[in-house]
Amino acid sequence: MKNKVEIYDTTLRDGSQGEGINFSLTDKLRIAERLDAFGVHYIEGGWPGSNPKDMEFFQQARRRKWKNAKIASFGFTRKKGVPVEQDEQVRMLLDAATPVVCVVGKTWLLHVTEVLRVKPDENLAMIADTIRYLKDQGKIVVYDAEHSFDGFKDEPEYALATWQAAEKAGADVICLCETNGGAMPSEVARITAFAHGKLNARLGIHTHNDCGFGVANAIAALEAGASHVQGTINGYGERTGNCNLTSVIPTLQLKLGKIGVPPKSLPKLKELSEFVDEIANLRHDTRQPWVGQTAFAHKGGIHVHAIERVARSYEHIDPAAVGNFRRVLVSDMSGRTNILVKAAELGFKLTTEMPATKAITARVKEQENLGYEYEAAEASLALLIRGVLDHDPELLFTVDSYHVSMRGDAKTSICEATVKVRVGDEVHHTVAEGDGPVNALDTALRAALARSFPKIRQVKLTDYKVRILDGVAGTGAKTRVLIQSTDGKRDWGTVGVSENIITASLQALVDSMEYALLKK
């Protein structure tokens, strides 16, 4: 198919070389299975011989059935002066028993003479010997032409000679590698177009993100004739990372009209991105294009007003196409449309003509001016809307008083909180200890409420963030506290603001408990 692009995932090899990325054997197998189900064509599992874990991965991979992907091993061309049949590293590539082998060789004459310290003709022989030998063993061979673009800019004739040596030896794919991440998209397009005109083998592209052009350079190459793209999920990789497949795949299919993964897989892209982050034990990048939480978040009142009428006026695709969704944010920049849309999401029916809509908008702007933030505290926003609509809603409980103290020495300390809570005519007075003042306060408040509301025991605090709003005031500055809570079925956020961090924390905790107890 003319429009088909091969997706070669190297998250498990190149991606694992990123700082802070360390996959266990189980992690690698789980990611590989998810990538296979998603529909990528190749999964590069690692470098045989570099560590026991990679060899074990290949052993485990042989016992599994792969529906869509072919497993690839990675290694270098033979060493200088060593016959390919006797090269230990090449033998390990065969021992991995993968249907696909990716071998990397030198394109840049600088590397040939100064790093490898071999003669130019010997480097060509190393490339050809290795590829020919692997083809004779029945392997699909992907040749990664390292430093293709730097090499071509320095010595175009020699760079071409390396690519042609790989093609003549039988390489199935010749992948031009932008290894240093420093080339411009225009350079990548020009050199890829040149290579496409000189070679008959399938042409690939492998880019790095050192200048922030990893995805742009890959797209430039694909538009110039490449039909095989290498990258990683979420852009993991050495230095600033590799080409991000979670951007390349939807760009290919939704912008360029090319086919990478099966169309039915594309709505699972966000889920795949989050899954790999979870396995890598990394917080998901909310600002990531296409799949990030903010990719389709709208804050400005003009924007929200427009998308309510014509969604594509401020959205380049339907968010559902990649498994994402639209979010409307509420802040001091909000107009009435923001409030109407957000209120509807939270279960409130408002109209533009209702006086309450104007009152809620004004109240939000007033609170945000005081330091409150509702973008990540939708539960507090729901309580604010409820308060305006009901004028003086009956609270499920009130905190009459609280006290937090700490005792201990330089090595150990114990925090204790006392809370007096009123529920109707009943008063519950509890004391609790905690790892810190907020934990103690949370425990005491929960224990008090549980006497009247047993289901509050299901509520757990999952995240706690503090921000100083005015650094000039030092320790007397106003503090914003954001709390995330869950009852195991739903998650919600609340906010509190005060010059006293404990008071701000209590506000957020009270909102969290109040929201958890409301029927709607």
What pLDDT score does 328 carry?
64
pLDDT band for position 334 (cuts 50, 70, 90): low
What pLDDT score does 151 carry?
95
pLDDT band for position 329 (cuts 50, 70, 90): low
The half-sphere exposure of 76 on its side-chain side, counting CA atoms within 13 A, is 14
What pLDDT score does 322 carry?
86
Across 163-178, average pLDDT = 97
Beta bridge partners of 207: 178
d(CA 31, CA 509) in angstroms, rounded, equals 37
What pLDDT score does 300 carry?
54
What pLDDT score does 68 carry?
95
The half-sphere exposure of 487 on its side-chain side, counting CA atoms within 13 A, is 16
* Segment 135-144, tens digit of pLDDT: 999 999 999 9
pLDDT band for position 2 (cuts 50, 70, 90): confident
Query: Does residue 340 register a pLDDT over 90?
Result: no
- DSSP letter string over 361-408? HHHHHHHHHTT---TT-HHHHHHHHHHHHHSSPPPS-EEEEEEEEEEE
pLDDT band for position 261 (cuts 50, 70, 90): very high
Domain range list for the chain? 6-261, 397-452
Across 70-78, average pLDDT = 96
From the candidate CATH numbers 3.30.200, 3.40.50, 3.30.160, 2.30.30, the one assigned to the domain spanning 397-452: 3.30.160
Strongest mean pLDDT among 186-195, 427-436, 484-493 = 186-195
Q: What percent of the chain has pLDDT over 70?
A: 91
> Domain 6-261, what architecture?
Alpha-Beta Barrel (3.20)
What pLDDT score does 368 carry?
79
pTM recorded for the entire structure = 0.71
* Segment 353-405, tens digit of pLDDT: 788 888 888 888 888 778 888 877 888 888 888 888 876 667 789 999 999 99
Range of lowest pLDDT (15-29, 197-211, 402-416, 464-478): 464-478
pLDDT band for position 448 (cuts 50, 70, 90): very high
What pLDDT score does 466 carry?
87
Using DSSP's 3-state secondary structure scheme, residue 64 falls into: coil
Query: Does residue 311 register a pLDDT over 70?
Result: no
Range of lowest pLDDT (18-27, 402-411, 417-426): 402-411
Q: From edge to edge, which strands make up the β-sheet containing 398-408?
A: 398-408, 413-423, 426-434
Secondary structure, 3-state, 69-126: CEEEEEEECCCCCCCHHHCHHHHHHHHCCCCEEEEEEECCHHHHHHHHCCCHHHHHHH
* Segment 209-251, tens digit of pLDDT: 999 999 999 999 999 999 999 999 999 999 999 999 999 999 9
* Segment 18-73, tens digit of pLDDT: 998 988 898 999 999 999 999 999 999 999 977 788 899 999 999 999 999 999 99
Whether the CB-CB separation of 186 and 211 falls below 8 Å is answered with no
What pLDDT score does 53 carry?
87
